[in-house]
Structure 1
Amino acid sequence: MPLNEQLTQLETHLSLHIPNVVPTLFCETLIHYYEEKAFDKSDTDSAEFILTECMPWLSEEPLNSLLKVYFNNGYQIIGSVFDALTPEDKDYLSTTWHLDYGVNRSLKLFIYLNSVEEHQGNTLIIDQYRSELLRDAGALPLDLDKRKEDLSSEMQSLGVSNEALGYDLKAGDALLFSPFLLAHRCLLPAPGQKRYTVCFTLIPS
């Protein structure tokens, strides 16, 4: 997709699927590295290593030009997280519907190290119109204990569709979206699978 079309989609829909941000073989190497280190209980640096290895890809195409235009040449990374989720991670905070809070025009960038088709642990998004309705109805609370995995009844009460958007993300693809304007949640992987992702939070500088 040409840069101008990417920018238009991001500005209009506040989310964008960007293929081939990180080479598939590089993703496989990082996963292998993590799993090898996972057996070493004294190792606490593998997640930081993976984040450091992934960060330079933000300065490569196709991401580099898009981020420069969107942020008018300047942005900061204020948060970075590597996750290797299993079906047993029931207490993972982001599995319930929520909005993040922060600086205007901030973006969240997920890089999937293995494909959604493989593990089924997608990131689901609700469009801005319905997210605003849900927020105004109190269905997206700040209190973690009050957040829900299923908002079907709330959406039915509001008279809107309960369908969520989930992109077909392959290994090395990126998901870019506004976490403050689009309600979102992550799905845990299918039994016997793991979901490996890197997430960066970007704000204007």
Structure 2
Amino acid sequence: MPRLDENTQQYLRDAEAGARQHTIRALESFTNFALRDNVLEVAVGLILAVSFTACANSLVTDIILPIISLLPFLSRNLDEKFAILKHGPNYNGTISTGYNTKDQALADGAVVFAYGSFFDKVVRFLVIAFALWAIASLYSRGTDDNIVKRQVKCKYCRKYISEKAKRCVNCTSWQDGREEQGQ
């Protein structure tokens, strides 16, 4: 087996050392990015948010919407409430809406006004928003840190600013009336 001359061997050793340094630097850069405190906090927060959303959706689907569906004008599951704007070729005139389910109407090519599905999503949004507000309020009572910050309108530019602001971030006017005193 032929041997490499000294210059080629040195070139290969330098290339190996350079590749090793680049690999170590890339690995350190990745660990600094992926394992920083704030990235891990965001990951934990997202996992908790997904779990919370699943609980809130279950609350809406399994508890609140069945109770709402008991109202006299809602005779079946709320998310299945729909109206037919234009019927398809297999429209059944003996059924009040022409189709048994919304999916059946869509499969037939009917134009469907799915107001129940919309109302379902609005109720879900309101429940999640209310639950997040309640959690933020409880957190604010337990600590001195307010998550829900009160805002007021600037008396000069009428944009919303923090209640504790001394100057408006939009028009830079003083909120304590210093400019009015100088005149």
Greater helix fraction, Structure 1 or Structure 2: 2
TM-score (norm 1): 0.22
Specify which structure has the higher proportion of strand.
1
- The higher relative CO (CA closer than 8 Å, separation ≥ 6) is in 1
TM-score (norm 2): 0.23
Larger radius of gyration: 2
